[in-house]
């Protein structure tokens, strides 16, 4: 067997395996939906589906539908923090996908997490469509102001003012909190921050961090990570207790 054949096999085999995992993920997911009224039977199927989806990552084309189904499988498997991480990963690749925005917003609401507000109009239409609509209305407004002498001039003036007002109020909220690069979230269980990077160290005072709370990783030593929260808390956590966003 020559080198070219070995290279071809090494490229094709992972893709074929990932395609099989993807088919399994969708089959388990659909079976779980059929049994969704019986949680004891449906949840194990959704767990199998979520694991199969994770095995596909990096080997198949990642589409908005892929992330929607994966996030849904994680959520129905009882992994809301994983579902939130998946939806964010999808939004990083497809920031204008309205369905992913809805999923992300719903998860934040259900998990009772504080985050920069995304306007409802952006959630429904998607950011790209919103920008197109604003640009079209703004163009119409300026044309009406400079090219007409009737009531359309007043209408155009109000349209331009409305576009400017919307841009000044909604876009800053949509951009979110700048200067704090989140790159991890708390996994599925409440988490206490440790004073040091060993289990023998005591916990920091204060309440436990809720699942899916956003974290900024500052340093790591072996399996321990030094993290910072949005409210200014610092501490050490185990790698198994957080979900790291490799995209950041």
pLDDT in tens, 80-133: 999 999 998 898 888 878 888 888 888 888 888 755 444 444 444 555 667 778
Residue in 122, 163, 167 with CA at minimum distance from that of residue 140: 163
C-alpha to C-alpha distance for 12 and 18, rounded to whole angstroms: 10
C-alpha to C-alpha distance for 28 and 46, rounded to whole angstroms: 6
List residues bridging with 236 in a β-sheet. 194, 226
Give this prediction's pTM. 0.64
Residue in 57, 48, 54 with CA at minimum distance from that of residue 78: 48
CATH of domain 3-111: 1.25.40.10
CATH match of 184-244 with 2.30.30.40: yes
Secondary structure percentages of the chain, helix, strand, coil, to 5: 60, 10, 30
Average pLDDT in the chain: 80
Most confident of 68-72, 115-119, 205-209: 68-72
Angle at 127 between CA 245 and CA 145, to 5 degrees: 155
Record the tokens describing residue 69, joined without a space: 């189904």
Tell me how far the alpha carbon of residue 176 is from its chain's centroid: 14
């Amino acid at each position: 067997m020559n080198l070219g054949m070995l290279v071809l096999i090494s490229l094709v085999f992972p893709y074929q395996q990932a395609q099989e995992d993807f088919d399994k993920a969708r089959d388990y997911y659909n079976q779980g939906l059929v049994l969704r009224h019986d949680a004891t039977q449906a949840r194990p199927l959704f767990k199998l589906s979520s694991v199969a989806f994770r095995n596909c990552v990096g080997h198949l084309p990642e589409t908005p539908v892929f992330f929607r189904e994966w996030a849904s499988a994680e959520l129905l498997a009882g992994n809301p923090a994983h579902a939130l991480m998946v939806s964010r990963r999808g939004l990083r690749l497809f920031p204008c996908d309205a369905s992913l925005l809805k999923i992300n917003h719903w998860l934040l609401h259900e998990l009772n997490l504080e985050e920069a507000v995304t306007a409802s109009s952006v959630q429904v239409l998607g950011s790209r469509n919103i920008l197109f609509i604003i640009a079209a209305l703004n163009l119409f407004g300026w044309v009406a102001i400079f090219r007409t002498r009737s009531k359309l001039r007043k209408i155009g003036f109000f349209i331009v003012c409305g576009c400017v007002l919307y841009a000044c109020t909604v876009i800053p909220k949509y951009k979110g909190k700048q200067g704090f690069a989140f790159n991890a979230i708390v996994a599925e269980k409440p988490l206490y921050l440790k004073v040091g990077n060993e289990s023998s160290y005591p916990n920091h005072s204060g309440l436990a961090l809720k699942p899916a709370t956003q974290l900024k990783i500052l340093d790591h030593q072996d399996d321990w990570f030094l993290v910072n929260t949005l409210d200014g808390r610092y501490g050490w956590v185990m790698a198994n207790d957080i979900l790291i966003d490799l995209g950041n």
